[in-house]
Structure 1
């Protein structure tokens, strides 16, 4: 699962790292170290041959699923080809850039947050699915989810699932509309940044509050 992430650089910074100097921006989201569900965050995608960066609502539920399934913030990688996600896998692939994400360990009421990031402190390009369009009744109709997979390589100590992360070049391939859904799944399976590329440290419980922000909440706590 991924319930919060650190997106502390600007969308234009991440676009430059992807080589998207020609990107069309419809994004006014400010950088944040504590992006939470229910907020609008910049999502990279392709539309009519253009590189686009649009603010999209983090949470999704198909309009037809109202009252049938709960609103989601993540999509399980192993279920991307099912009926619910297949349309977005074909037409709604996106990338959410970040510096890291948060997970929690411990018992309810005593949860310890952890900041997970690359050992080389490079950017993360998180796989996303989104409905890029207007909503009718609920903002989640036009929202996004992050794609998660089974955790491994010691990350099970933190959580049993983690976001699927790609390198910049592979992220651009994921967004290529000429890539079929099955090819996109294979790309993600074969090219995901491995668990051993990441490290993590404890951070302040201030991150538990959705409105908390600032670089101080990403700092490691002393044991």
Structure 2
């Protein structure tokens, strides 16, 4: 699961794409320590041979699913399912990277849940594997949205949640984005190249984070 992000310095996140030869940025997203689904956030994707950062809606639903109304908007997509019929087109042509400084998970019972800030031990930015359908803003926001790929949590991360977003190294992220990478190889990349639990640390943060309207650096500070 990945239901909230820390993107507190968008300019730095974009600058950290130093492994890309050139990036055209169209983002107007504001810095946020408490990014929630349903908002427009900066996403790195490729059109032709050019890398773009565009503001996309966090949450995706295909056109036919939108019409049927039977499939919910997906903010996360299980790695185990990205090659099925629903996701196959985006696995081929819609691979993307969502940059962040961390993500949040909750533990505990309803009414007393504790949020945790999960981040790389070296405090550098993370590259989240995503599937996206970039396009102009339409009445259906989710049609041109993105979803973050998740996998089973491993070892220590199980203490926080049983799912984790797939976080890639710069080299793996470049290969994931490369239009010349066939879908089968792209799927293999997110299976074997995701950073393991030893790359991360986590600490409890202010429960006020649960309110999507809450903002401020204090939300990401250890309690």
Q: TM-score with structure 2 length normalisation?
A: 0.95
The corresponding residue for 1:113 is: 115
Number of residue pairs aligned between Structure 1 and Structure 2? 220
CA-CA distance at 1:22 after TM superposition:
2.5
Q: Distance in 2 between matches of 1:15 and 1:135?
A: 22
- Between stretches 71-80 and 13-22, larger displacement belongs to 13-22
Greater shift after overlay, 95-104 or 22-31?
Answer: 22-31
Partner of residue 215 from structure 1, selected from 203, 211, 217: 217
CA distance in 2, matches of 1:95, 1:199: 21
Aligned to 2:158: 156
Q: Counterparts of 1:21 and 1:59 in 2: how far apart (Å)? A: 28
Match of 1:89 in 2: 91
| Gaps in structure 1 of 5+ consecutive residues | none
The C-alpha deviation readout for 1:91-110, integer Å capped at 9, x for no partner, is 11000011100000111111
What SS does the aligned partner of 1:170 have? helix
Q: Distance in 2 between matches of 1:116 and 1:33?
A: 12
Selected match of 2:175 from 173, 177, 200: 173
| Secondary structure of residue in 1 paired with 2:86 | helix
Structure 2 unaligned segments of length 5 or more: list them.
Answer: none
RMSD: 1.2
Match of 2:173, SS state, is helix
Q: Which residue number corresponds to residue 80 of structure 1?
A: 82
Deviation at 1:128, TM superposition (A): 0.6
The residue number in structure 1 matching 2:16 is 17
Q: Distance in 2 between matches of 1:96 and 1:25?
A: 13
* Partner Cα distance (2:94, 2:157) in 1: 28
Question: Which structure 1 residue ranges, 4+ long, deviate > 6 Å from structure 2?
Answer: none
State the SS of the aligned residue for 1:154.
helix
**Equivalents in 2 of 1:169, 1:136: separation in Å?**
33
